[in-house]
Amino acid sequence: MAEFDAGPPNTRAAGNDDALRIKNDTNRAHTNDDGLVDMVAYQNEVPLWKRIHQHSLTQMFLMSIQAFCGPAMADAIAGLGGGGLATPQTSNIATSINYACLAITCLFGGPIVNRLGTKWALVLGAMSFPIRGASYYCNSKFGVQWFLIFGAFFTGTGSGCWYVAESGTIMSIAPSGARGKYLALWIVARNLGQLIGGAINLSKNHTAGVTGGVTPDTYIAFLIIESLAFPFAWLITPLHNVVRSDGTRVRVSEKIATKAEFKLIKTTMTSKLILLSALWAAWSFFYSGTWSTYLGTYFSTRARALSSLISPFFCIVGCFGLGFILDMKGVSQRRRAQYGLFTVIILNTGVYIWTIIMQTKFNKHSPGKIDWVDKLYPSAFLPYFFVQTTGPLSQSYMYWLLSSFATDAQANVRNGAAFRCLEAVGQAISYGMNTQIKTSPLIGFCVTFGLMAAALGPMIVLVNTTPNEIPADALDAEEHAREIDQSRKEGEKAEKEEDINYAVSRA
């Protein structure tokens, strides 16, 4: 764990591996005169199982497992192209409704999650995951389209609560010098879920010449995995109990009234941070609707199943590569933010240009349904393969950037909710737009490319204002310095009073 968590020097405001910086009064039992917690006492007095449970990496693993069971299974279904149905339109309608509900929930998610607590929001959200697999199964098995569409309202609302709690958690628990690697672990877990889902898809849909949708049994496997997120959500510990590997705790402020929380929605949505990242948020997942339609339109059932198996492989390499860039030693946080931005933009630009070239060729000469034995398969499939890496890179990068501006865990929840809301709006528009595309997804590719270009300018402005130290760390350092100074003054005052009392007694 220590090696995985190791960060660059001078990235912590205070504290070291032997001392735990503290904020909460409930943890004062181990606090020494310097306002730090003696880690030796912490290790001696707290049971091993509890220390492991409260460790930041353990909590990130638990979050990653839930991401594997929930969002990853949804991605695996989307990776079938049109949800694996015979025609992609019904799936696109349901997915568009799902993301519209998710966007509304995320808009008000900050106050809701900060009031419920991240753990209970995760539990509530995990309960909604199996509805997606069940609705696709009923549609595929019995032709019940109303369940697919009606269920989207529940999955969108429940997933919205989960996504807000997730974003606040993953941005808060990582040590400041290892955030890139932590976020890479989370993104990889999501794509490992798609890989497992792809193996299920391929095992049940590998016969040559099969047309239409995937077999109903495929969705049964998804349903079972989605149900596993619920017990793991119960294992999440409240943020104020998390102990980071660098000897710090998550900065958690006192709860404020619900009315005040709702007033902060406007403040958050109109903040410089969210306004400058709004187009990026809408773009970051916009690709999913168009590329899913591309896969469903031009590839055979078993080729689509194969795609959902092999697409995540390169993402694992890419996300950890970006993680190491964002955690580079000896480089300021602002410079790392700049490197990360241009890495993401350059890679996405290459994929978009390639895809538009392929789609232009398909508009001139329709390829029919491409199978994996066809000569055209590699050049037609690789753009989809690479966008499954470059797309997640943009999300991982943005969550890292948002956490660079955070003042406390509640701010991470609010910022994550705002970003996820705008992200969901982009997804809803993307899938809604693709319900109207009957022949060619070229328009969708061009819109996605244009949206990225429009987002670049504001993002450059935002990135160039990235603080070289996380505000939460700086605030903790200031508070600890004030506490030490106050303690020193009280000590001096006590000494003076003792001297006076002694002099009076002698007199």
Query: Which pLDDT score, from 0 to 100, does residue 175 have?
Result: 83
Render the burial of 284-312: b for 16+ CB within 10 Å, e for the rest: bbbbbbbbbbbbbbbbbbbbbbbbbbebb
Top mean-pLDDT range of 103-112, 140-149, 320-329, 430-439: 320-329
455 pLDDT higher than 70:
yes
Instruction: Record the tokens describing residue 465, joined without a space.
Output: 């204002």
Closest by Cα among 268, 264, 245, 248 to 256: 264
Query: What's the Cα-to-Cα distance from 394 to each of 277, 347, 451, rounded to whole Å?
Result: 12, 10, 13
Query: What's the Cα-to-Cα distance from 365 to each of 87, 350, 379, 448, rounded to whole Å?
Result: 21, 23, 15, 23
Query: Which pLDDT score, from 0 to 100, does residue 335 have?
Result: 92
Topology given in CATH for the domain delimited by 57-242+273-481: Growth Hormone; Chain: A; (1.20.1250)
Query: Any idea how long the chain is?
Result: 507
Percentage of the chain surpassing pLDDT 90? 18
- Residue type present at position 153: F
How confident is the model over 392-420, as a mean pLDDT? 85
Query: Which pLDDT score, from 0 to 100, does residue 227 have?
Result: 94
Instruction: Record the tokens describing residue 226, joined without a space.
Output: 């989605």
Query: Which pLDDT score, from 0 to 100, does residue 7 have?
Result: 43
- What's the chain's average pLDDT? 79
445 pLDDT higher than 80:
yes
How confident is the model over 147-162, as a mean pLDDT? 89
pTM of the full predicted structure? Answer: 0.74
User: What are the phi and psi torsion angles at 370 (to 5°)?
Assistant: -80, 130
Query: Which pLDDT score, from 0 to 100, does residue 435 have?
Result: 67
How confident is the model over 342-351, as a mean pLDDT? 94
How confident is the model over 423-446, as a mean pLDDT? 77
Domain boundaries, the chain: 17-46, 57-242+273-481
